Chains A and B, each alone.
Chain A
Amino acid sequence: MLTLYTPGNSLLHRCPAAAKLITLCLAATLIMILTDPIVLASGILVVAVGYGMARIPGRTMWRLSRTALVIVMVVAACQAFFTSVSPAIIVGLRILFLITAANLVTLTTRTADLITVVEAAARPLTRWGVHPDRIGVTVALAIRFIPVLGEQACRVREAQAARGVKAPFTLLVPLVIRTLRLADGVGEALEVRGLGSSARAGASTTEHRSMTR
């Protein structure tokens, strides 16, 4: 499966994922507090330098940011027209900064490194029944099954097209049923490998039995 990560060897690429995410959070908070357009614009300049350092092609950057940029322009124009120009500029610059900075982190950080950060961030949630070690498995499963389900969707479409069915929603029920059938098999496979609470309890009892014998 394709990721948005753009390979490279720049300082930004080599920087630890957690450091980049923390910096992004701090910068985003700061940018929402600041109101001076010159400070905001220089923040965007820093991000632009980051894009240059990481050698991100302009097309990649545009592809990720375009929808948000269009919204920013439309809203800034509306606001400038109805209220006044200065809040429109501040809001526009803020959103421009947030989106380009966040995308820079996405483009320079490997998916695997980000999964590790998610697992680490979930560790304090253990006391509420979250198992950080299962997050990685579940993420990997979802990634693995996106192309599988995509292919299933194509097959259902082809079969329906052959029978002359064209409505987009007729895809749903057969696709969901196929998904649920797949989940049965996947669930069993996970159980065999000792994932899930019932399997874990079972494993510990067999272990206990073998020890007492």
Chain B
Amino acid sequence: MRAKDLALIALFAALTCVLGLSPVIPLPFIGITFSLQTLGVILAGGILGTKRGAIAMVLVIVLVAIGLPVLTGGQGGLGKLIGPTAGFIWSWPAGAWITGALVQRWWRGLTPARAIAAALLGSVSLYVVGHTWLAVMLGLPASTAWWSWVAYLPGDIVKSCAAGVAILAVKKAYPLITVPSVSGRR
């Protein structure tokens, strides 16, 4: 891993923390908040690619674990990594990896629709992990916890569009993902 990669990983972890400082929209009933923080997860994967994106998210988890208030609403600490909503944070490396994998796969012909799809699939993976964890912790059948996902869908589509546009813009201005060249290209 080059020094530049270390810098990118540290800075995207910091960026994800900064996006958590943005205004918070609390959702009724569940107590989980809607913030721009998960955008950091998707952008890390979509801009840095699978490996560096996932490591950046592991770094954010380390920052939470060592007691820094870097989560939305100035939250943090080990309680956030062990409580009922902890799955929504543990899912971040996986979410970044999935978005990164799709963006890398479609890198040469990355259209807005594909970039948005990659962002959306990454976001959905956060819920799969988060809600399964929630259901296990609360002793509920997974299906009961899953309905609440529908409530987030509109917000997620909007966020994914924003992330997809940003991923495309950065691809043009500052491409960081390198795809092995196609052999026998004319």
A and B are partners in one complex rather than unrelated chains: yes
Which A residues are within 8 Å of any B CB, using their own CB? 1-5, 24, 28, 64-65, 67-68, 70-72, 74-75, 79, 87, 90-91, 95, 98-100, 102-103, 105-107, 109, 111, 114-115, 118, 129, 134-135, 137-139, 141-143, 145-146, 148-150, 153, 168-169, 171-173, 175-177, 179-180, 182-184, 186-188, 190-191, 195-199
- Pick the contact of A79 from B2, B32, B139, B173 — CB < 8 Å? B139
The complex places the Cα of A131 from the Cα of B36 at a distance, in Å, of 31
Known: A114-B67, A196-B1. A176 touches B85 (CB 8 A): no
Could you name 17 residue pairs across A and B whose Cβ atoms are closer than 8 Å? A4-B76, A64-B75, A67-B32, A70-B31, A87-B139, A102-B83, A103-B78, A129-B1, A142-B10, A145-B14, A149-B14, A150-B18, A176-B15, A177-B174, A180-B8, A183-B7, A198-B2
- Which residues in B have their C-beta under 8 angstroms from that of A28? 82
**B6 lies within 8 A of A138 (CB):** yes
Q: Is B120 interfacial (CB-CB < 8 Å)?
A: no
- Nearest chain A CB to B118's CB is how many angstroms away? 16
The complex places the Cα of A102 from the Cα of B89 at a distance, in Å, of 16
Number of A-B contacts (CB under 8 A): 209
- Nearest chain A CB to B178's CB is how many angstroms away? 15
**B59 lies within 8 A of A142 (CB):** yes
Nearest 7 CB-CB pairs, A to B? A196-B3, A106-B77, A187-B4, A141-B10, A169-B162, A102-B78, A190-B3
- Nearest chain A CB to B71's CB is how many angstroms away? 10
The complex places the Cα of A141 from the Cα of B79 at a distance, in Å, of 24
- Which residues in B have their C-beta under 8 angstroms from that of A75? 84, 138, 140
Known: A4-B77, A102-B82. A198 touches B29 (CB 8 A): no
The complex places the Cα of A70 from the Cα of B43 at a distance, in Å, of 31
Q: Which A-chain residue is minimally distant from B158 (CB atoms)?
A: A169
**A106 lies within 8 A of B78 (CB):** yes
Q: Which A-chain residue is minimally distant from B21 (CB atoms)?
A: A150
- Nearest chain B CB to A64's CB is how many angstroms away? 6
**B166 lies within 8 A of A187 (CB):** no
User: Which label, helix, strand, loop or mixed, suits the secondary structure of the B interface?
Assistant: helix
**B75 lies within 8 A of A176 (CB):** no
- Pick the contact of B68 from A74, A134, A143, A149 — CB < 8 Å? A143
**A182 lies within 8 A of B11 (CB):** yes
Q: Is B39 interfacial (CB-CB < 8 Å)?
A: yes
Q: Is B62 interfacial (CB-CB < 8 Å)?
A: yes
User: Which label, helix, strand, loop or mixed, suits the secondary structure of the A interface?
Assistant: helix
**A99 lies within 8 A of B79 (CB):** yes
**A149 lies within 8 A of B7 (CB):** no
- Which residues in B have their C-beta under 8 angstroms from that of A198? 2-3
Q: Is B102 interfacial (CB-CB < 8 Å)?
A: no
**B78 lies within 8 A of A24 (CB):** yes
**A103 lies within 8 A of B79 (CB):** yes
Known: A5-B67, A71-B31. A64 touches B79 (CB 8 A): yes
**B67 lies within 8 A of A187 (CB):** no
**A168 lies within 8 A of B36 (CB):** yes
- Nearest chain A CB to B140's CB is how many angstroms away? 7
Q: Is B69 interfacial (CB-CB < 8 Å)?
A: yes
**B65 lies within 8 A of A118 (CB):** yes
Q: Is B117 interfacial (CB-CB < 8 Å)?
A: no
Q: Is B170 interfacial (CB-CB < 8 Å)?
A: yes
**B43 lies within 8 A of A67 (CB):** no
- Which residues in A have their C-beta under 8 angstroms from that of B14? 141-143, 145-146, 148-149, 179
**B170 lies within 8 A of A173 (CB):** yes
- Nearest chain B CB to A170's CB is how many angstroms away? 9
